[in-house]
């Protein structure tokens, strides 16, 4: 069983309730998380990625509840946030190997993986360039690529295809679908239509709750 379960998860910022009791199960395969801007998609993804704690509720990974599961979850997790500051002075490859070190991965193996991932998404020719010279679309693909290092069992992607041209978006989608055959993949997107047929579920978030679309 590879499965992430959220029960009665709540989150508020000050007085503003964003998640008002989310009950959702994320099985192996691709889950699309959709909803209008400000609905709480990124908030939910940050909670799944343990980058933020919920106010209340439980999160279970393969049946084991957090916080006990928190450490386990981090070991199996790949996360691509919606917006992140990248180290401009590093090359993409140096950045990826830094992430790999933080994840405790073998450097040579991670280097091979990064090469293969970037080759699949049209970024390989630029991996030895400094990130400072990267375009928006290249940055987005780099954030996506680092999330796949170490073959994580849980992959959380916040709008991985935003800002990408059609060809790059298709390459990213193909790779995440391939990973979804052996991992729990959760992604937010404003363009769910193309991927919905290949998803195990589409969850819509509205009024702080999720429901199957
Ligand atoms: N750190 C924060 N502090 C205060 N409010 C926040 C914070 N993060 C998010 N919010 C608020 O929580 C709500 C949900 O934001 P979130 O970013 O999760 O939405 P989203 O569905 O990802 O939107 P988008 O489609 O624009 O990315 C918004 O009203 C936002 O202003
Ligand atoms: Mg968002």
- The structure's pTM equals 0.95
Residue 36 has pLDDT above 80, yes or no: yes
Ligand 1 neighbour 43 (Cβ under 6 A): yes
Predicted local confidence at residue 152, as pLDDT? 95
pLDDT score at 193: 84
What is the mean pLDDT of the segment spanning 99-120? 96
Q: Return the residue whose CA atom lies nearest to atom 8 of ligand 1.
A: 43
Q: Is the minimum distance from the CB of 39 to ligand 1 under 6 angstroms?
A: yes
Nearest protein Cα to ligand 1, atom 28: 38
CATH number at residue 126: 3.40.50.300
| Residue owning the nearest CA to atom 29 of ligand 1 | 38
Q: For ligand 1, is residue 59 a contact (CB within 6 Å)?
A: no
Ligand nearest to the CA of 40: 1
What is the number of domains present in the chain? 1
Q: What is the DSSP string of the chain?
A: --EEEEEEEEEEETTEEEEEEEEEEEESEEEEEE--TTSSHHHHHHHHTTSS--SEEEEEETTEETTHHHHHHHHHEEEE-SS----TTSBHHHHHHHHHHHTT--HHHHHHHHHHHHHHTT-GGGTTSBGGG--HHHHHHHHHHHHTTT--SEEEEESTTTT--HHHHHHHHHHHHHHTTTSEEEEE-S--TTTGGG-SEEEEEETTEEEE-
Q: What is the pLDDT of residues 195-212, one digit of tens each?
A: 999 999 999 999 999 999
Averaged pLDDT for residues 47-52: 92
Q: Ligand 1 in contact with 13 (CB < 6 A)?
A: yes
Over the stretch 121-176, which tens digit does the pLDDT of each residue have? 999 999 999 999 999 999 999 999 999 999 999 999 999 999 899 999 999 999 99
Q: Whose CA is nearest to atom 30 of ligand 1?
A: 38
Q: Which domain holds residue 183?
A: 3-212
Looking at residue 213, its pLDDT comes to 86
| C-alpha of residue 12 to centroid of ligand 2, in Å | 15
């Amino acid at each position: 069983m590879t499965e992430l379960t959220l029960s009665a998860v709540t989150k508020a910022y000050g007085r503003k309730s964003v998640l008002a009791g989310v009950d959702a199960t994320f099985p192996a395969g691709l889950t699309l998380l959709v909803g209008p801007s400000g609905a709480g998609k990124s908030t939910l993804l940050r909670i799944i990625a343990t980058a933020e704690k919920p106010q209340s509720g439980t999160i279970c990974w393969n049946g084991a509840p957090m916080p006990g599961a928190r450490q386990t979850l981090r070991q199996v997790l790949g996360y691509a946030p919606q917006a992140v500051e990248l180290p401009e002075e590093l090359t993409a490859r140096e950045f990826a190997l830094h992430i790999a070190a933080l994840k405790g991965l073998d450097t040579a193996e991670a280097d091979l993986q990064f090469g293969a991932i970037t080759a699949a998404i049209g970024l390989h020719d630029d991996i030895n360039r400094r990130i400072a010279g990267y375009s928006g679309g290249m940055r987005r693909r780099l954030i996506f690529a680092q999330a796949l290092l170490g073959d994580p069992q849980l992959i959380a992607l916040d709008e991985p295809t935003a800002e990408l041209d059609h060809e790059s978006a298709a390459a990213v989608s193909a790779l995440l679908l391939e990973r979804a055959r052996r991992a729990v993949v959760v992604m937010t997107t404003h363009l769910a239509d193309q991927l919905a047929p290949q998803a195990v579920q589409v969850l819509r978030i509205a009024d702080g709750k999720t429901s199957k679309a």
